[in-house]
Structure 1
Amino acid sequence: MKLTDTLRFASYAAMGSFVRTLLLVLAMSIGVASVVVLTALSDGARRYVVDEFSSIGTNLVIVLPGRSETRGFNPANLVTSTPRDLTVNDAEALLRLSGVKLVSPLLIATSEVNASGKLRESMLVGTNADYMQLRKLKLSLGRFLSKTSSKGGSPEVVLGALIRKELFGTENPIGKTVRIGDKKLRVVGVLAEGGRGMGMSSDELLIVPIAIAQTMLNTNTLFRILIEAQSREQIDTVKPQVLKTIISRHEGEEDVTVITQDAVLETFDNILNVLTLGIAGIAAISLAVAGILVMNVMLVSVTQRTAEIGLLKALGATSNSVQQLFIVEALLLSTAGAIVGLGLGYLGAAFLRYLYPVFPAYPPLWAVFAGLGTALASGLIFGVMPARNAAKLDAIQALSKRY
């Protein structure tokens, strides 16, 4: 039997039982769609994390309180406070190192801001003038913190775009006074809308001089110190210098962890890549279940089409031709299910992006090919047994529907 005849006959057989074909295609498409959507989610999470850390600046070295040998590097430490001692004097000492371009001390807490009787809780960031350039922030109004205000603790604040909108509406807030905690501060600038970094939206930030933040929170310690090297090539030179300087300032004790932005990105990238592969494997189980369904339905189909198989053999079709016919039919059903599943998967990923525009839920190309290949392999493997059963039937017994 020619391949074209086999394809035509298999197509007629599949369409001859529309409900059976529809159920098989649906089962296979659900499996493929699961692979596409779940890998889009996990790979989107990986891209989101990488983009978040990339957005905090370039050529970064980050100083974390606490030794990595005793506390270990925990990604959550980058966005939560700790009691370890890092001081503004440490940050100033690091700025004097060769290869260092910018240094920003950080102190972060939540605080209430009040203006014109309107109250709102927001993220308070105490830092210096270098923070704007280091984080690549942009302004829509006014200016950022001045170098003198950072050192002297001038009572001024830069508002996030959303904070400005909620407190002042369309009114220009520059020069007006807001109350943060028990302190009055003058608004000197407003950040441009849409900035993000390290899981925080700059639209909801209150940025004040580091000295003001320390006074408000009654502490001399820092949350983190961000350092920007003059070039990517100098990061490996700057990192040991930073550690050496801190150790010398902390009486010879290595009580900090110094990491680079590339190291953080690589760690998250590796973890989330493994997670993506694991999720893809779990989703592929549904394809195996769909393959078993194909096998069961095809076995029933062999029983129902006994007379048809007998007629084919009586007309000269060989056992190999009959086996080929059923395998091709199983592959056609799997292919149809895979194509429908890819379409559903892409629609699902597009819907996720519509719901969460900042989340890049795009299916990776390898997942598309993996889903398609697994679906075809599943149809082929689980279609072999029914095909062999059909090929073993004797023509005379098949025509009389006896075994």
Structure 2
Amino acid sequence: MKEDFLHYVWQYKKFDFSNLKTVNGESLSISNVGNYFQKSGPDFFNAQITIENQKWAGNIEIHIKSSDWYLHQHEKDDNYNNVVLHVVWEHDTPIFRKDNSEIPTLELKHYVSKEVLENYQSLVSKKSWIYCENQIKQVDDFIFQSWKERLFFERLERKSIPIQKLLEETDNDWEAVLFCLLSKNFGLNTNGETFLKMAQSVPFSVIRKEGFEVENLEALFLGRTDLIPLDAEDNYTKDLKSNYDYISHKYQLQKTILSPVQFFKHRPDNFPTIRLAQLAMLYHQESNLFSRVISINKLKDFYSLFEVETSSYWLTHYQLDNESVKKKKKLSKSFIDLIVINTIVPIQFAYAKSLGKESSETILELIREIKPEKNVIIQKFNQFGLDAINAFDSQSLLQLKNEYCNLSKCLQCNVGIQLLKS
């Protein structure tokens, strides 16, 4: 038995209302179960109940056992002074307010049907990958689509948190924030945090000033990530080292200790050197990238915007001072898709939100143009009959797995609630 099951039973009134009594034998009727509040303080706010013809308006606190009140030290918390009813599964001790008046208690186990209990136990008793893996396909498609939309925007809200933090760190410079987010995206999962810290270690004013020469940006990005060999033999690498030393001295850039970048398990086209060279070319070509990004809402236009290659040196190199077979190295459409999913859509959402503008429909149209991500989570959902047709589907399913299934929040999930109802 878990408290979230009791929250579900109370919120959706899955118990017998006809002849309720408190543990002290007082008659109890419920006019309003209150508003579910999933933060600190009582579980349900502004409930309306009647005990022995006396009407009460206030808050409801729910526990497995009455004694949990003292276990959680609610008697010391003023937020619980306005609790008018303590709802528990099992009553094991009286509960008193600070003024020593007893809080009425409803022992819920006497009023929940066997069927509701069995449905709950059936849902949560077996877990291989997710609890409902054998039932999730039964959920009505309209309900599931609505739930996926909410999951998608929950995920965007979560992605807005680091954007807000970056805004505070950059004095609300959206161009600087975009540069940080793109840097992290260009580093992929392996080098993303290192690339982000590199971007944060350089004032964006320096990027603006040095962007007129792509070699200067390459020197800056590769130098800050310690990717320029000190004992290089080729002239280009020597020039990069010289440029980096000059730029660092010119702008008084402090030495920053970053985690070493990783080449291991990367295909050559994803080497961090290549990604940083492409990032340098992007900011060499586009001096006002944020304004471009905010004004575009079609995937084909993003493909054009991010049609970036590298400077000529990298045609014959994957690493500095190490020549290779000649090959163009431009951003692929699949990589641009990841940029749009993980950087562009979140920053468009956060920017519109900062202006008080509604952007939901535009963002949904864009994300549905993009192919779904391919990873083990999406593949697993596919096995259960949930096909990800586009990136909207895959992003929603990732949110479902990470924020609900992994945390066993079945009774805060519309899938779990619908399966219990059925």
Q: Shorter-chain TM-score category?
A: under 0.3
Q: Which has the higher strand share?
A: 1
Q: Larger relative CO (CA 8 A, sep 6+): 1 or 2?
A: 1
Q: Which has the higher helix share?
A: 1
CA radius of gyration, larger in: 1
TM-score, normalised with respect to structure 1: 0.24
TM-score, normalised with respect to structure 2: 0.24
